[in-house]
Amino acid sequence: MSSSEQDTEAAPEAAAPTDTAERMADAAARDYDITAGEERLVRRPMPTLDVVHDRFARNLRQGLFQLVSRSADIAIEPVQLLRFSDFLGALPLPSNFNIVAMPPLRGRALVVCEATLISALVDALYGGSGTVHAPIEGRDFSPTEQRVIQRALGAICHAYNSAWQDVYPLKLVPDRSETHVQFVDVAAPGDTVLVNLIKVSVAGVTGHIHVCLPYASLEPIRSVLYGAQQAREMAEDRRWVTMLTREIQAAEVTLVAELAHPEVTVAQLMSMKPGDFIQFDRLPQLVASVEGAPVFICHYGTHNARYALRIDECLRGDDPHWLGGSHVH
């Protein structure tokens, strides 16, 4: 092969890298956000979470009533998708930050109670009128306020755990409390978090509770959160329970309280005739039963010129759900 033929054969091979470099130089660079896929995924409707939050509102209303003996108005806002740094930056200060574990999931969640809510709960718990509140700005929470916070946190976690009970065994378990936002480290500043905002009104004062869950911790139960069919089944189950509860509450039962249990022989029984007396000792307390199941311990006497039973103790336990949702404050 002549030298000219060799140069001709080698020319395309030498030109190929140059052409590739020119095409790469002409191509425009495009930005790629590695978190965009997560945001698109999270912004989808989460019907199961909506059902859980409805339950949470009902449970929390009952829990706060048991805490302060006053009815509370609960309103839950739609779930927000935020970066953790943006969430912390929007919180009013001072606030109480409670870091909680969330077994069986990994990681930590955050429950934030605003100062206005804490002040309202303290006022209601100690019989205040709801018109005067001690300012919290510029100082730490007092020991009394911290005790009320811990009791309120217990009610919040119990209500939240009960709401998840039929969906997934998720539990919020208190770990520690912080008063300074810089010590809150449940997620990195750029991480995506789900924020549940609860508006609570007690004695005319409104405050907020924020429940912040890192989305990365919820990744293992993503199919549960986005399961529309499961949410529909849960809603249907709730309607069925409501209907059944209504029918049960309307049913009539016979309450029986036995005054005494005298013992007689067969001979005495056979010899009795009208006008005879059966003597017995009056019991200090009576047990009232329904269908043989004891429900009350009572005293026997009169009330408004009629025979009556005064209930001393309920034997049904402390759970008010035995009468259905309409009887739960």
DSSP SS3 for 35? coil
The mean-pLDDT minimum among 11-15, 152-156, 226-230, 313-317 falls in 11-15
Comparing CA positions, the residue from 228, 191, 209, 193 lying closest to residue 91 is 209
What structural domains does the chain harbor? 43-243 (3.40.1550.10), 252-327 (2.30.330.10)
Is a pLDDT exceeding 50 seen at residue 329? no
Comparing CA positions, the residue from 69, 63, 201, 66 lying closest to residue 126 is 69
Nearest 5°: phi and psi at 322? Answer: -65, -20
With cut-offs at 50, 70 and 90, classify the pLDDT of residue 153.
Answer: very high
pLDDT tens figures, 60-106:
999 999 888 888 899 999 888 899 999 999 998 889 999 999 999 99
**What's the mean per-residue pLDDT of the chain?**
80
Alpha-carbon distance of 148 to 126, in angstroms, equals: 10
Is a pLDDT exceeding 50 seen at residue 328? no
For the question of whether the overall pTM of this predicted structure is more than 0.85, the answer is: no
* Residue 25 near residue 17, CB atoms below 8 Å: no
> CB-based contacts of 186: which residues, under 8 Å, 6+ apart?
84, 99, 107, 108, 109, 110, 212, 214
* Residue 314 near residue 300, CB atoms below 8 Å: no
What's residue 326's pLDDT?
42
What's residue 244's pLDDT?
79
Comparing CA positions, the residue from 143, 149, 158, 206 lying closest to residue 56 is 158
Alpha-carbon distance of 75 to 77, in angstroms, equals: 7
